[in-house]
Amino acid sequence: MSLSQRRIVITGMGALSPLGLDVKTSWEGLAAGKSGVGRIAAFDTTNYKCKIAGEVRGFEPKSAFKNPKDASRADRYTQLAMAASKEAFANSCLSQCKDLDLDRCGVIVGSGIGGLKSLADQDARLIASGPDRISPFMIPMMISNMASGTISIEFGFRGPNFAVVTACATAAQCIGEAARLIRDDDADVCLAGGSEAACVELGIGGFAAMRALSTRNDEPEKASRPFDMGRDGFVLGEGAAIVVVEELEHARRRGATIYAELTGYGITADAFHMTSPSGEGAERAMRYAMRRAGIGPDDIDYINAHGTSTAQGDACEAKAIRTVFGEAAKKVAVSSTKSMTGHLLGAAGSFELIACVKAIETGVIPPTINLDNPDPDCELNHVANIALQRPVRRALSNSFGFGGHNACIIVESLRD
């Protein structure tokens, strides 16, 4: 088989989000238009301008590890990543594959920020008690590649292993690079995606200092409102989402359930500004993804927009979609699931790709909730407030990050 013929499919999915501790519960929340945003429970917000976030609630980290002690040596972002990986692995039924070549199984899992809580806690310990009181686990708990490394150790995957760190494009790029590795015959299977746990004092304080966060503290469920005239910033969320990316014939030989085929992947840089998007880079990323998939704008049924609920970002993305899709922009369904989860940062791209896969599987397109008064600058064919029942053959997931990083992925129902 030539490398160009190696097709890429998704055979497993796992997720923890503000809507639930697995894919099933999270998807049910998305399809129902349910908000997972609430008042922050993790710390006292008295002195904070922003008092709301999309937190993962009810998670027991020890259950995610073979050795429960390993949970206490891992930052929350790694704990979440491990739990999502366990679900994805189980969902893929890879454990039943008796001839699985672990040298050809990789892990590509990233985080936009990494172990922020661990860093902040140990800095406080340094100031209070001196350097001798810093935990010897601080560095491995903090660094952004540790989730990927820990997952490979847990499963014994000895193939390619690394972490992409491209802010809010992280998870999408991890999945895209996993697909590239498989297409280039460097692996047959990869656990890929992202994890984030930045809903901590330093995270909320830092993003608030940028004036990036919504301060609709009295109405948490209505605070994340992409493309709406009343949007006042994004809502910080946390979570993890991992998918099993696999070569098609490898999946068929073991009788795997195939949820979707990954056919398009495009990455670009704005080369414009640290935190403000140009729109031009997003346009090129979408075009590149469609070119790789061998399709045009009329072939996309659903776009899961990056749609963060910021004034400039939403308008910029909407314009980019209109530019790329032309007349097709009037009919392709568009929604932002961040309206329900908040912004999962480095986990957003993989969680939203799962939403695209579930839309293909179920024929349900999740809505953008709180879209009560659409901004004329964000004119698109929005799925507003209530899920849309419509067959979805192909879906595009957009992910754009600080630094001008853009990653777009196209998934579709499996072709013969």
Known catalytic residues are 168, 306, 343
Q: Which two tokens stand for residue 39?
A: 């008042």
Gap between the Cα atoms of 151 and 68, Å rounded = 14
Residue 321 exposure: Cα atoms within 13 Å on the Cβ side = 34
Gap between the Cα atoms of 396 and 410, Å rounded = 5
H helices of 130-279, in order, are 138-142, 146-155, 170-183, 201-209, 248-253
H helices of 242-391, in order, are 248-253, 280-293, 311-325, 338-341, 348-362
CA 71 to the chain's CA centroid: 22
What three-state secondary structure class fits 246? strand
Gap between the Cα atoms of 34 and 26, Å rounded = 9
- How many Cβ atoms are within 10 Å of 326's Cβ, its own excluded? 12
